[in-house]
A and B are shown apart, each in its own frame.
Chain A
Amino acid sequence: MLSRILWMLWSLLFVTARRTQLRAVRPESLPRHVAVVPDGNRRWAQARGRLTADGHDAGCRAVELTVRLSREWGIRVLTVFVFSLENFGRPKAWPPLHSLSHSPSPDNIFTLFLNSLNLKAEVDYLMAMIERLIRDNLDEYARNGIRLHVIGDASRQPASLQSTAREAEETTRSNSELHLILAICYSGQWDILQACRQLAGEVHQGSSLLRAEDIDEALLAGKLATSVVGTEVACPDLIIRTSGEQRLSNFLMWQSAYSELYFTDTLWPDFGEEDYLQALSSFQGRERRFGTRTASEALSVAEKAV
């Protein structure tokens, strides 16, 4: 009886805390471009003694939730780092030292065995899963005004994924409420390299059109993969990285020059509305100066530039 009363009091407290948190995020100063590094699917699965595939599926659902929330709250661009070029050769041995707190408790020994199998199988599964994610949600995106872009090294993506992505981009071309960028087989260094190769090609072919000395930041930024959404919102305002890793890992290298970074210990499948709100309120509490003395000075400099 007493425990029931205590439980009711606790949930009441929790609900009021949530409400105050929801009120704390100001809708007028939300970031225009949010980038997410969804890390921790495998650790989540291991902590629950399930297959890694289940972890990735749960991660998919978290991605869908994040897309829906971003659209509801009026964020213009959402970039999700679905698959990195470095993920092609992920380590077999797991877990790393510092995540020993997430100790695995498998249902049976076969789960452990299956989890340590061939990496290529996992990569293939991931690619099929991403394709399924795009296909299943295409109708929803087309209805809700979400425009899909897929960026990354097309030569490393399987052919079926490439065709699905192109179809999805065609279908959602006219939407403009939320730009969803899926970074598949993407890496920041690759992005800069491909921009560099394009510019080098232009310098060589049309020697009268472009000289090497004319290459400047704006020109290079225009050749990057994220410029599909336009140069104004190409750079993320907020980058969220889950599962406690404090690194950038080659994600949006050029574009993250002035982004606010938010690191959280939550694993990606557990990333929900509360965590997203926390990230946004943390973003709103920061003073972005862009090299000047105060935020107001930064705004005035930006206005003068425009």
Chain B
Amino acid sequence: MVRAASYEAGARDSVNHHQSTLNTGHALQLQRILRELPSRWSWHVALTANPRRPRIRFLPPPTPTARSSSSAAEFLPLSRRWLRLPLLTPQDPKTEKPEEMVTTGVLASLQNFLRKCLIAVLSYGPMPKHIAFIMDGNRRYAKFRTIQQGTGHRVGFSALIASLLYCYEMGVKYTTVYAFSIDNFKRDPSEVQSLMQLMEEKINELLENRSVINKLNCKINFWGNLELLCEPVRLAAEKLMASTAGNTGLVFSVCMPYNSTSEIVNAVNGLCKERREMLQREHTGDCNGHAANNGVHSEISVADLDRHMYSAGCPDPDIVIRTSGETRLSNFLLWQTTFSHLQNPDPLWPEFSFRHLVWAILQYQRAYPYIEQYRELAKKQL
């Protein structure tokens, strides 16, 4: 069990703390570096998760006052320190100094201006309408920051909200995220429990503070086999879906608990039942039902199955981004990602920020003409 580091400690303590996690040849080098640094600078050094390209990253020194590990604000990367909305992470306003807030305000407005300029430049090229995210790397982030795993998922949630806001600014209308897989139920029950609690907490927060949803005019869908969820989470999810069903702006789909193979089986079930009912109605209508029976199976088309998928009504994803460098789909939107551009950026999900999203869209714009041609042709064939 990984303990949260105490922030009044100096470099030596952080070295001791890291000893259990780093047991490669790099560890000795790092210890030497850390011992040479003055003790008032407690630099935290971590190796990235990707074993193919280990890199040493120097993280900013933590704030000097000791805080409880449950608040995630101090674990946010620098790029996302601005995201301290009361909705997401409760924070004590008394600890902020006035001059800090002024400088933060000026910097924030400059950042906003630069961001808007960059988005305007990007919009000259083809912009994706639907981006799908596989949020991989929360636990590794927690492990390498030596914090509890539950906090890793919370930081991941703040990354999710940030990405959603950036997508809204860029004009990407549909966003889908892979929150929880049916295979994830095989994990440690305590981890599954903490994830479910986090989801319930966030859904209830969204239900109470409708400001974010109303600002984005956001429609929230939950795709997946909701019966597998425990009662309070399921009820909260259904309530949120019902309350945002009428919104016409951003469409945010959360896949939980989701497996693409079970989605396809579900669609096949639904289609078979629909056909059976249709045939029964025809059979009672006229006596020539026998002839109708034989022709019906060859009429099943891609469009029929599309109608019964959870994603009926949403266009296919243009980009699928899987963070932390893993190159697999892990049973996510297999039916819908035929012509999606698959991307595997190296940063872990909590580190995914605006510049990574911009780079993802640039790569998509580069590959766009080729993908579009094949998409048009495929529609004619099938």
Contacts and interface: CB of A to CB of B under 8 A. Distances in A.
Interface in A194-247: 196-201, 203-204, 212-213, 215-217, 220-221, 245-247
B369 A250 contact: no
Contact of B382 (A97, A187, A215): A187
Given A204-B296, A291-B181, A213 B269 contact: yes
A220 B265 contact: yes
A88 interface: yes
B interface majority secondary structure? helix
B268 A292 contact: no
Contacts of B5: none
B187 A292 contact: yes
Interface stretch (B37-45, B65-73, B239-247, B271-279): B271-279
A97 B191 contact: no
B63 interface: no
Interface in B239-297: 259-262, 264-265, 268-269, 271-273, 275-276, 279, 293, 296-297
Nearest to A244: B367
A212 B279 CA distance: 14
B341 A189 contact: no
Given A248-B337, A256-B334, A258-B328, A200 B300 contact: yes
A69 interface: no
Contacts of B293: 204
Contacts of A212: 269, 272-273, 276
A85 B381 CA distance: 7
Interface string B160-172: 0000000000000
B58 interface: no
Contacts, number: 157
Contacts of A213: 269
B73 to A, nearest CB: 26
Contact of B184 (A192, A198, A291): A291
B59 to A, nearest CB: 24
B8 interface: no
B183 interface: yes
A261 B342 contact: yes
A295 interface: no
B371 interface: yes
B186 A250 contact: no
A201 to B, nearest CB: 5
B330 A257 contact: yes
Contact of A201 (B191, B297, B326, B380): B297
Interface string A64-94: 0000000000000000000001101111000
Contact of B183 (A189, A261, A291): A291
A189 B378 CA distance: 11
B371 A292 contact: no
Contacts of B373: 91, 96
25 contacts: A90-B377, A96-B370, A97-B370, A98-B366, A187-B382, A196-B268, A197-B297, A197-B298, A199-B268, A200-B296, A200-B297, A200-B300, A204-B276, A212-B269, A217-B261, A254-B264, A257-B261, A257-B331, A258-B328, A263-B327, A285-B52, A292-B184, A292-B187, A293-B191, A297-B186
Interface of B: 51-52, 139, 181-184, 186-188, 191, 259-262, 264-265, 268-269, 271-273, 275-276, 279, 293, 296-298, 300-302, 305, 326-331, 334-335, 337-343, 366-367, 369-371, 373-374, 377-378, 380-382
